[in-house]
Amino acid sequence: MVVTGPAGSVSSSTLAGSTLEGREVTPTSLLKSFTKRRAHACPVCESRFAGFQPAHNRPAAKCPGCGSLERHRLAWLFLQRETDLFAGRPLSLLHAAPEPMLKKRFRALNHLEYLSIDIESPIADEKMDMTQLDLDDETFDCTYCSHVLEHIPDDRAAMGELYRILRPGGWGLLLVPILRETTYEDPAIVDPADRLEAFGQADHVRKYGRDFADRLQSVGFSVEEIPYAATLDRQTSARYGLDVKELVHFCRKPRAGGEEPGDASGVLESLRSPVRP
């Protein structure tokens, strides 16, 4: 029988000379096996395991613990490491189209006043149209919205609503699939099969390009486009199962008088120069 002590230490006296499925078991081989079984980790649910599961035609996308995908893990790492969301200061967060595993973690943060919204999802706290939020101006400190805007015909209206409900100095972390240099959309394409062919998914209404940041800026945001996974070392990326090509857009609502808020993402200061294309 395999015996592990505190913190996974292996008792060599117990194991010496034993075999496992016909193979000789030594402390070294057991340690290697143990390390391999815990080679990957999910920052969202904090579980460790041997590998990610296949999902969406990708061989290693999904966390076996909570179901997070690459973009969820990247966003969570970004929120943890680069924003003030976990600092313990009371904050209000609007979560658009809530992913269940993230909603659970946000809800567990006692200092967070949390609201999730969606036009149809049963797990959202409130049903709302992103282009007409039933929320007062300047009521939230931060917002998180991932892979939502590519589903919304009037995405500029939705961006404008996120801007409107943020307090001056507030920030938003926005993710969309960036697939080209310039955004491609055609409102005449409405049939799901045609949308699948044109935009890659039957319920997408465009393919965003690198000009996504321009749209966000057009509603007032100050925007940083950050290839966040690419700023992490290769081992960290592999460990957390990240897509190094994934971009995050960190958006800030300027304070009155145009002053840039400085407290939301101090660490980003050091990333700006090397990561900008």
Q: Which is nearer to Zn ion, 45 or 242 (CB)?
A: 45
SS3 223: strand
Cβ at position 6, least distance to Zn ion in Å: 24
Match 């797990």 to its residue by tokens: 123
Q: Which is nearer to Zn ion, 27 or 67 (CB)?
A: 67
> Which stretches of the chain bind Zn ion, using CB under 5 A?
42, 44-45, 63, 65-66, 68
Cβ at position 93, least distance to Zn ion in Å: 20
- Provide, for the chain, the percentages of residues in helix, strand and coil under a 3-state DSSP scheme, each rounded to the nearest 5: 30, 25, 40
Q: Which is nearer to Zn ion, 105 or 147 (CB)?
A: 105
Alpha helices in 139-240 (DSSP H): 155-165, 192-199, 212-218, 228-231, 234-239
Cα–Cα nearest to 149, from 191, 170, 178, 192 = 178
Cα–Cα nearest to 119, from 132, 128, 107, 110 = 128
Q: Which is nearer to Zn ion, 104 or 255 (CB)?
A: 104
Q: Is 8 left (phi over 0), alpha (psi -120 to 50) or beta?
A: left
Cβ at position 238, least distance to Zn ion in Å: 16
Instruction: Work out the angle at residue 73's Cα, subtended by the Cα atoms of residues 67 and 78, and round it to the nearest 5 degrees.
Output: 155
Q: Which is nearer to Zn ion, 42 or 173 (CB)?
A: 42
Cβ at position 40, least distance to Zn ion in Å: 10
Q: Which is nearer to Zn ion, 68 or 183 (CB)?
A: 68
Q: Which is nearer to Zn ion, 94 or 102 (CB)?
A: 102
Q: Which is nearer to Zn ion, 61 or 97 (CB)?
A: 61
Q: Quote the radius of gyration of the chain (alpha carbons, Å).
A: 22
Cα–Cα nearest to 82, from 270, 254, 276 = 270
Cβ at position 67, least distance to Zn ion in Å: 7
Cβ at position 76, least distance to Zn ion in Å: 9
Cβ at position 44, least distance to Zn ion in Å: 5
> 167 and 141 in contact (C-beta within 8 Å)?
yes
Note the residue count of the chain.
277
Cβ at position 237, least distance to Zn ion in Å: 16
> 271 and 244 in contact (C-beta within 8 Å)?
no
Cα–Cα nearest to 274, from 223, 231, 237 = 231
